């Protein structure tokens, strides 16, 4: 089994970003969705992006943003990957001519395989829990068996999210064998404020598997 990569999402503080990178984060998620408690303006995102060392990817998270909104962020700071967490079409996602990750929120009755096939040129598919009132960061879990089957199908690099924390991430990795795990609320003391102890414990558990 190859190493499971780690993305820490919803960073709002420079000190948390530095710690996550020091612990071994492969990617840092910067949230540009105004409806999120972890929202960053481009002005607030700049020092966080500057705190990231080489070889750590900066991922910009958008939810049903207009083209102009995405382009304004891309003009203001360098991103390595775009993460689309809303109802964006495949055409919109690929139109920026850069790597992108599409989020699929798992819910009953959804044909996951068909959804993944729509975004066949994505760099990865992130599977997250469905909540009608929020786009991610809810701390809710979904059935990991769904994710395991997606990994076995081999149609995409699967990033597992939704309700992950130090207490369950090792079990999740053993069951699903995802390409990467993505955590936000599971390592926080408050929305957007990462807890050093929870972050450290999360990395320890991932590295233990």
In angstroms, the CA 176 to CA 167 distance is: 16
pLDDT at 142: 87
Helix 67-76 vs helix 42-50: angle between axes, to the nearest 10 degrees? 40
CA-based nearest residue to 32, from 94, 90, 75: 75
Residue 111 is among the residues annotated as catalytic for this protein:
no
DSSP code, position 145: H
pTM: 0.94
Which position among 9, 21, 81, 93 bears the catalytic label?
9
pLDDT at 52: 98
DSSP code, position 63: S
Residue 128 is among the residues annotated as catalytic for this protein:
yes
pLDDT at 141: 84
Which position among 16, 26, 128, 182 bears the catalytic label?
128
pLDDT at 182: 97
Contacts for 15 with CB less than 8 Å, ≥ 6 apart: none
Each residue's pLDDT expressed in tens, for the chain with a length of 209 residues: 589 999 999 999 999 999 999 999 999 999 999 999 999 999 999 999 999 999 999 999 999 999 999 999 999 999 999 999 999 999 999 999 999 999 999 988 889 999 999 999 999 999 998 766 555 555 678 899 999 999 999 889 999 999 999 999 999 999 999 999 999 999 999 999 999 999 999 999 999 99
Residue 32 — φ and ψ, nearest 5°? -110, 25
3-state secondary structure of 124: strand
Domain assignments of the chain as residue spans, ordered by start: 5-208
Where does 5-208 sit in CATH, by number? 3.20.20.70
């Amino acid at each position: 089994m190859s190493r499971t990569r780690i993305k820490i999402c919803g960073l709002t503080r420079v000190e948390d970003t530095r710690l996550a990178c020091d612990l071994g984060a492969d990617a840092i998620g910067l949230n540009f969705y105004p409806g999120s408690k972890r929202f960053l303006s481009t002005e607030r995102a700049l020092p966080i992006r500057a705190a990231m060392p080489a070889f750590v990817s900066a991922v910009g998270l958008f939810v049903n943003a207009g083209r102009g909104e995405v382009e304004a962020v891309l003009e203001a700071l360098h991103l390595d990957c775009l993460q689309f967490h809303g109802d964006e079409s495949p055409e919109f996602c690929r139109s920026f001519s850069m790597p992108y990750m599409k989020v699929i929120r798992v819910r009953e009755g959804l044909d996951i395989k068909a959804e993944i096939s729509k975004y066949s040129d994505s760099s990865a598919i992130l599977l997250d829990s469905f909540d009608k009132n929020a786009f991610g960061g809810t701390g809710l879990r979904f059935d990991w068996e769904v994710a395991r089957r997606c990994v076995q199908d081999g149609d995409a690099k699967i990033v597992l999210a939704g309700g992950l924390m130090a207490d369950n991430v090792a079990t999740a990795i053993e069951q699903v064998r995802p390409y990467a795990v993505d955590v936000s609320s599971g390592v926080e003391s408050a929305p957007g404020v990462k807890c050093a102890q929870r972050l450290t414990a999360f990395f320890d558990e991932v590295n233990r598997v």
